[in-house]
């Protein structure tokens, strides 16, 4: 059966035979490699079958594919990467392009390996593919055809001769350099194909947003580009993100690759922790958002500071210290975090600032440094730079009253002071400021604030830093602290999160082996 369609000045025909050929390959030779269906044949969802049939069924008059670009934008866990891996294998083994070169590209090797690893696992699970393909670390070969991965080091990618390009999570690309280098390498190919896969991003200046906008115009009929096949799934920005009916419309994998119960739990978490709302909307409903958003609910935070701290009751108790050292003229933070018997925590913060900069900081940062200093919330050190000896003396003083289990610190600018502390017998542990490390303490602090078991005594500098703290999300939804504006200070919150991180890790895994600092 064949159909014909006119677009612009070109005529296209549809071949059901070609479409069924690809469907047969995918569902006969490829299998699920993750989740409860692992090992079972890959059975495409209706939306996936429609995409495959449109992509491979429609032809130009010269028998080449109508579509050269596929824009697949869908929420996380919708099955787009698994589909891309299967299509990559089809392009490697079956597509008639001589000497086919299939490339999986991503922002980094780790991201590119996700799709590649699915493809290698599909090969391993099928005896026919296993006998045909040779799998190496970053390359799969079939006769004179190859499937490989590349990442954003685009300066090494000129001279390629790509026939099929799979671009995974385009919204993570730091620039268009890699993309443009790879696209131009396809010029000599007879029937090139580009598959763009992405979840909604956050940067309106990015390449992904540029293509998202272009694809949206094609979908809405504002642009006629017969070379683009667009499949976009997601909710409208003003949709009720808490409504399961919105989830069903936005997420093509709901009930198949992601359970509705899981989304209900994630939605409940977002309702309790406002910093997660943007993550939920972006990752599960495919709604574009800003990169950063203010994190904690200020009302919840303030409610946790209604009661003054009972300092005498903290004497002798175990605590974890977080130390965020500034540049010599900036705010420096030291925060003690005491785990409480009820699963909450008590926070005792200390802020240090050069004495001669108090007036200037009050003006430039629109913050009450002078008042805070007068009331004892900011410790002013003599001169125009922070005196690290004053910080060292304060830690030694605190250790006489409290049991400092560990001192968590950021490596930046810390070696001299940490060496002094280590010589004193303190256990000092570096804590990287990455989403992988910061996600757990930030999520825990969200929970404590929501439950009212975070006790901070209403310290105004800590509250100021809490109000300034935004979140930045990684591709997998992990978060780390960020400043909302360039002049905002978040030092005390960073120190608190580092201390909380060590408490969570130590109570879960035990003491961490220490790597000696080089002097």
Give the pTM. Answer: 0.63
Residue ranges of the chain assigned to CATH 3.40.50.300 = 2-232
pLDDT at 366 (0 to 100): 65
**Pick from 58-72, 315-329, 385-399, 501-515: least confident:** 501-515
Fold of domain 298-509: Nucleotidyltransferase; domain 5 (3.30.420)
pLDDT at 468 (0 to 100): 83
Confidence band for 6, pLDDT divided at 50, 70 and 90: low
pLDDT at 509 (0 to 100): 61
Listed residue (102, 14, 24) closest to 63, CA to CA = 14
pLDDT at 4 (0 to 100): 56
Name which residue leads in pLDDT, 485 or 56.
56
Residue ranges of the chain assigned to CATH 3.30.420.240 = 298-509
Q: Are 355 and 328 within 8 A, CB to CB?
A: no
**Pick from 92-106, 365-379, 467-481: least confident:** 467-481
Q: According to the CATH classification, is domain 2-232 in 3.40.50.300?
A: yes
Residue 119 and residue 99: Cα distance in Å, rounded? Answer: 19
Beta strands in 106-189 (DSSP E): 134-135, 139-142, 145-150, 164-167
Q: What percent of the chain has pLDDT over 90?
A: 67
Write the pLDDT tens digit of every residue in 444-468.
999 999 999 999 999 999 998 998 8
- Name the average pLDDT for the chain: 89
Q: Does the pLDDT of residue 513 top 50, yes or no?
A: no
Q: Does the pLDDT of residue 3 top 90, yes or no?
A: no
Rounded mean pLDDT, 405-409? 95
Write the pLDDT tens digit of every residue in 280-338.
999 999 998 755 566 887 778 989 998 889 899 999 999 999 999 876 678 899 999 99
Name which residue leads in pLDDT, 74 or 279.
74
Q: Does the pLDDT of residue 79 top 90, yes or no?
A: yes
Residue 12: CB partners within 8 Å, gap ≥ 6?
A: 4, 5, 6, 58, 59, 60, 61, 66, 226
Beta strands in 329-387 (DSSP E): 332-339, 345-354, 378-381
Q: Which of 58-67, 175-184, 502-511 has the highest mean pLDDT?
A: 58-67
**Pick from 47-61, 280-294, 403-417, 450-464: least confident:** 280-294
Q: Does the pLDDT of residue 23 top 90, yes or no?
A: yes
Written as six digits, the tokens of 460 are: 């105004």
Cα-Cα-Cα-Cα dihedral sign, residues 283, 289, 291, 293: negative
Residue 142 and residue 159: Cα distance in Å, rounded? Answer: 21
Residue 383's region, left for phi above 0, alpha for psi from -120 to 50, else beta, is left
pLDDT at 1 (0 to 100): 36
pLDDT at 362 (0 to 100): 77
Write the pLDDT tens digit of every residue in 132-156.
999 999 999 999 999 999 987 644 5
CA dist list (Å): 253 to 76, 283, 424, 471: 9, 13, 56, 27
pLDDT at 515 (0 to 100): 39
Confidence band for 352, pLDDT divided at 50, 70 and 90: very high
Listed residue (42, 36, 26) closest to 90, CA to CA = 26
Write the pLDDT tens digit of every residue in 195-213.
999 999 877 668 898 899 8
Radius of gyration of the chain (CA): 28
pLDDT at 70 (0 to 100): 99
Cα angle: 470, vertex 472, 473; to 5 degrees: 140
Name which residue leads in pLDDT, 301 or 361.
301
């Amino acid at each position: 059966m064949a159909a014909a369609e006119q677009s612009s000045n070109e005529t296209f025909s549809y071949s059901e035979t070609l479409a069924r050929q690809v469907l047969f390959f995918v569902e006969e030779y490829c299998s699920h490699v993750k989740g409860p269906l692992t090992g079972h044949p890959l059975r495409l969802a209706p939306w996936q079958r429609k995409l495959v049939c449109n992509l491979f069924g429609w032809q130009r008059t010269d028998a080449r594919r109508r579509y050269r670009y596929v824009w697949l934008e869908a929420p996380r866990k919708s099955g787009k990467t698994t589909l891309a891996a299967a299509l990559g294998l089809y392009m490697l083994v079956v597509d008639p392009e001589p000497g086919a070169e299939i490339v999986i590209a991503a922002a980094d090797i780790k991201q590119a390996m996700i799709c590649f690893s699915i493809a290698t696992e599909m090969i391993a699970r099928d005896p026919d593919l296993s006998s045909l393909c040779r799998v190496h670390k970053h390359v799969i070969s079939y006769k004179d055809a190859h499937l490989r991965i590349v990442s954003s080091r685009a300066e090494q990618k000129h001279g390629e001769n790509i026939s099929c390009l799979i671009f995974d999570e385009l919204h993570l690309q730091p620039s268009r350099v890699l993309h443009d280098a790879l696209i131009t390498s396809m010029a000599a190919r007879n029937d090139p194909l580009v598959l763009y896969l992405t979840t909604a991003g956050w940067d309106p200046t990015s390449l992904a947003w540029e293509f998202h906008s272009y694809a949206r115009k094609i979908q809405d009929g504002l642009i006629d580009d017969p070379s683009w096949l667009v499949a976009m799934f997601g909710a409208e920005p003003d949709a009720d993100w808490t409504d399961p009916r919105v989830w069903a419309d936005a997420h093509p994998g709901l009930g198949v690759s992601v359970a509705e119960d899981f989304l209900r739990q994630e939605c409940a978490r977002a309702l309790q922790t406002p910093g997660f709302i943007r993550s939920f909307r972006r990752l599960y409903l495919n709604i574009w958002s800003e990169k950063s958003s203010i994190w904690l609910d200020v009302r919840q935070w303030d409610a946790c500071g209604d009661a003054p701290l009972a300092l005498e009751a903290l004497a002798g108790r175990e605590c974890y210290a977080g130390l965020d050292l500034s540049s010599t003229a900036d705010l420096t933070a030291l925060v003690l975090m005491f785990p409480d018997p009820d699963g909450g925590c008590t926070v005792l913060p200390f802020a240090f600032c050069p004495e001669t900069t108090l007036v200037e900081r009050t003006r430039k940062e629109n913050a009450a440094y002078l008042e805070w200093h007068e009331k004892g919330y900011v410790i002013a050190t003599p001169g125009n730079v922070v005196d690290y000896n004053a910080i060292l003396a304060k830690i030694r003083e605190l250790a006489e009253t409290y049991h400092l289990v560990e001192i968590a610190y950021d490596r930046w600018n810390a070696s001299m002071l940490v060496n002094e502390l280590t010589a004193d017998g303190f256990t000092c542990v570096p804590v990287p400021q990455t989403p992988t490390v910061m996600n757990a303490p930030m999520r825990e602090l969200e929970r404590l604030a929501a439950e009212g078991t975070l006790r901070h005594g209403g310290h105004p500098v800590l509250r100021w830093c809490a109000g300034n703290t935004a979140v930045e999300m990684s591709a997998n939804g992990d978060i780390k602290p960020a400043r909302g504006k360039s002049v905002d200070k978040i030092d005390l919150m960073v120190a608190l999160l580092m201390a909380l991180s060590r408490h969570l890790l130590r109570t879960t895994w035990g003491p961490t082996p220490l790597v000696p600092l080089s002097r």
